[in-house]
């Protein structure tokens, strides 16, 4: 989701941008710490890329869109990398086929890390020089947020890769969690509707798909006070939810039948009975399903079927944004690990837990940000007045505005400084490997 404004106006100057650039690069380094070269080579499906590719691609972005523009005499680290680590920027040139990224045993992980360090040093020198023009600063800022997206993808993709191993290996042990936590009762919070404004506002960073801010009309609605839990979703399963075609969209039912879905992705029958009948693979290894944690790794089709079963529906993205806006929080307000979270914020990447947690009690709207991405019933479409930015950078968002559904709110794998109420994520309705969950509306 990349943005290059028609008249570049970075939210940060070079002095403020440099520490942010360094912080984000260090966070990526921390995520890959302890992984072997073999771990970083895995590609379990075409939609999930190897960790090594993510490391190289985020570096490719800075080299291609920043350094090549900054220096007419720029010499690439390796000319072959321009094709190997291009994702889908047709305007840049040829691309290595996405399903074959896992075949790139060469360059080695060591070479990719050397590439990362070299480009990092050159971007740092550019920011320190005072020579970066506003358009270059805007592209560095964009690259930072682009890398944060790939931090989340490193975790979601790695989870899918490791889940294919019958040993159920752990990426990292989860920090100890308080025992006996239970989810608060589900309530519905009412909003009166009327004329509303949605979309990004202010000088802070935004992707182009969050613009322009515009008015829309909302009927009165109610939105759930927290995410749907595993226990609530188990009730749907036990009531035959996966065997009742009247609950499913036709395309979803056909996919469920073809793929044999019986539960969310990563759930495994444990051989026990009752509430202990299911285990779930997490980045900390195989665990028993916790009834009080939010259900996760469900497709749009599953979320929609559950909502129908619960005599509710999924919120529209405008409803979600209006509700989230009442929390008065913005990107970056969550601070560092261990800091107090504003009301409505759940687990995020900085916590190092990498699985959704039990909702906090006493919050009017819990887990609006973090824990799991929340499917909305809104198709991913341009806002009124949206214009695709010129050049290759403009390819990131506009050309994907078809056959996708919008998710809101971020997840336990999303960096805190990456989120805001206007942020629009999007995936195909069948996607399950992301940390995607359910919030009800009516």
pLDDT (0 to 100) of residue 232: 98
Which residues lie below 8 Å from residue 303, measured CB to CB, with a gap of 6+? 314, 375, 436, 437, 438
pLDDT at 206: 92
Domain 14-163 in CATH 2.60.40: no
Q: Which helix (H) or strand (E) holds 319?
A: helix 317-325
Q: Which of 84, 401, 433, 128 is nearest to 266 (CA)?
A: 433
Residues of the chain with pLDDT under 50: 1-8, 331-338
How many Cβ atoms are within 10 Å of 379's Cβ, its own excluded?
14
pLDDT tens column, 250-266:
999 999 999 999 999 99
Task: In whole angstroms, give the CA distance from residue 60 to residue 81.
Answer: 7
CA dist 119 and 113 (Å) reads 10
Q: Tell me the three state secondary structure of residue 208.
A: helix
**Contact assessment for residue 325 and residue 200, using Cβ atoms and an 8 Å cutoff:** no
Could you write out the DSSP letters of every residue in 238-261?
Answer: HTTGGG-GGGS-HHHHHHHHHHT-
- Alpha-carbon gap, residue 198 to 180, rounded angstroms: 39
DSSP string, 114-173: HHHHHHHHHHHHHHHHT---HHHHHHHHHHHHHHHHHHHHHHHHHHHHHHTSTT---SSP
Whether 204 contacts 420, CB under 8 Å = yes
Alpha helices in 209-249 (DSSP H): 230-238
pLDDT in tens, 325-370: 998 655 444 444 445 678 899 999 999 999 999 999 999 999 999 9
- pLDDT of amino acid 174: 81
The predicted pLDDT at position 181 comes to 86
Q: What is the pLDDT of residues 40-52, one digit of tens each?
A: 999 999 999 999 9
Query: What is the reported pLDDT for 336?
Result: 43
Cα(250)–Cα(257) distance, integer angstroms:
11
Helices (H) and strands (E) in the chain, counts: 10, 11
What local confidence, expressed as pLDDT, does residue 399 receive?
75
- Give me the pLDDT at residue 273, please: 60
Altogether, the residues listed in the chain come to a count of 442
Q: Can you name the residues that pair with 287 across neighbouring β-strands?
A: 280
CA dihedral 262, 431, 82, 28 (to 10 degrees): -80
14-163 shares its CATH topology with 188-437: no
- What local confidence, expressed as pLDDT, does residue 387 receive? 86
| pLDDT of res. 388 | 83
Choosing among 3.90.1580.10, 3.30.70.2190, 1.10.10.10, 3.20.20.140, the CATH entry for 188-437 is 3.90.1580.10
CA distance 421 to 222: 18
At residue 11, the pLDDT reads 73
- pLDDT for 334 equals 44
A 10 A CB-CB count for 362 gives 8
**b/e burial code for range 16-41 (CB count within 10 A of at least 16 → b):** ebbebbeebbebbeebbeebeeebbb
User: CA torsion 108→149→156→182, rounded to 10°?
Assistant: 150
**Cα three-residue angle 237-241-244, rounded to 5 degrees:** 150
- First and final C-alpha spacing in the chain: 30
Backbone angles phi and psi of 51, in degrees to 5: -60, -40
What is the domain partition of the chain in residue ranges?
A: 14-163, 188-437
Tokens (6 digits) for 342: 């504003």
Sign of CA dihedral 155, 439, 300, 262: positive
Q: For residue 195, give the 3-state DSSP assignment.
A: strand
């Amino acid at each position: 989701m990349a943005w290059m404004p028609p008249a570049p106006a970075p939210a940060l100057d070079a002095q403020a941008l440099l520490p942010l650039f360094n912080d984000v690069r260090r966070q990526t380094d921390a995520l890959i710490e302890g992984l072997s070269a073999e771990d970083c080579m895995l590609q379990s499906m075409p939609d999930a890329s190897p960790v090594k590719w993510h490391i190289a691609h985020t570096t490719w972005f800075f080299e291609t869109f920043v350094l090549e523009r900054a220096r007419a005499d720029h010499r690439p680290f390796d000319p072959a990398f321009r094709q190997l680590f291009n994702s889908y920027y047709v305007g840049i040139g040829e691309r290595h086929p996405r399903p074959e990224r896992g075949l790139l045993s060469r360059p080695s992980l060591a070479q990719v890390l050397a590439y990362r360090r070299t480009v990092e040093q050159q971007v740092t020198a550019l920011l320190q020089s005072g020579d970066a023009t506003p358009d270059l600063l805007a592209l560095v800022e964009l690259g930072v947020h682009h890398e944060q997206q790939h931090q989340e993808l490193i975790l979601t993709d790695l989870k899918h890769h490791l889940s294919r191993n019958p040993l159920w290996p752990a990426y990292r042990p989860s920090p100890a969690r308080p025992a006996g936590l239970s989810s608060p009762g589900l309530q519905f919070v009412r909003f009166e509707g009327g004329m509303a404004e949605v979309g990004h506002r202010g000088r802070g960073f935004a992707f182009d798909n969050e613009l322009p801010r515009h008015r829309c009309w909302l009927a009165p609605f109610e939105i759930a006070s927290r995410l749907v839990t595993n226990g609530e979703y188990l009730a749907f399963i036990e009531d035959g939810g996966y065997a009742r075609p009247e609950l499913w969209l036709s395309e979803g039912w056909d996919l469920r039948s073809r793929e044999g879905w019986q539960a969310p992705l990563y759930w495994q029958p444990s051989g026990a009975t009752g509430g202990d009948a299911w285990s779930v693979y997490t980045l900390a290894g195989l665990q028993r399903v916790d009834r009080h944690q939010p259900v996760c790794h469900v497709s749009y089709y599953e979320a929609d079927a559950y909502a129908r079963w619960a005599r509710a529906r999924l919120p529209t993205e405008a409803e979600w944004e209006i509700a989230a806006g009442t929390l008065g929080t913005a990107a970056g307000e969550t601070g560092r690990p261990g800091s107090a979270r504003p009301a409505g914020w759940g687990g995020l990447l900085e916590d190092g837990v990498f699985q959704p947690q039990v909702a906090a009690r006493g919050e009017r709207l819990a887990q609006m940000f973090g824990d799991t991405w929340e499917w909305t019933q809104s198709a991913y479409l341009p806002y009124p007045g949206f214009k695709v930015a010129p050049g290759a950078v403009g390819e990131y968002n506009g050309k994907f505005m078809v056959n996708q559904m919008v998710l809101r709110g971020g997840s336990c794998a999303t960096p805190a400084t990456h989120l805001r109420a206007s942020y629009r994520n999007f995936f195909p309705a069948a996607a399950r490997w992301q940390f995607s969950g359910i919030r009800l509306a009516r």
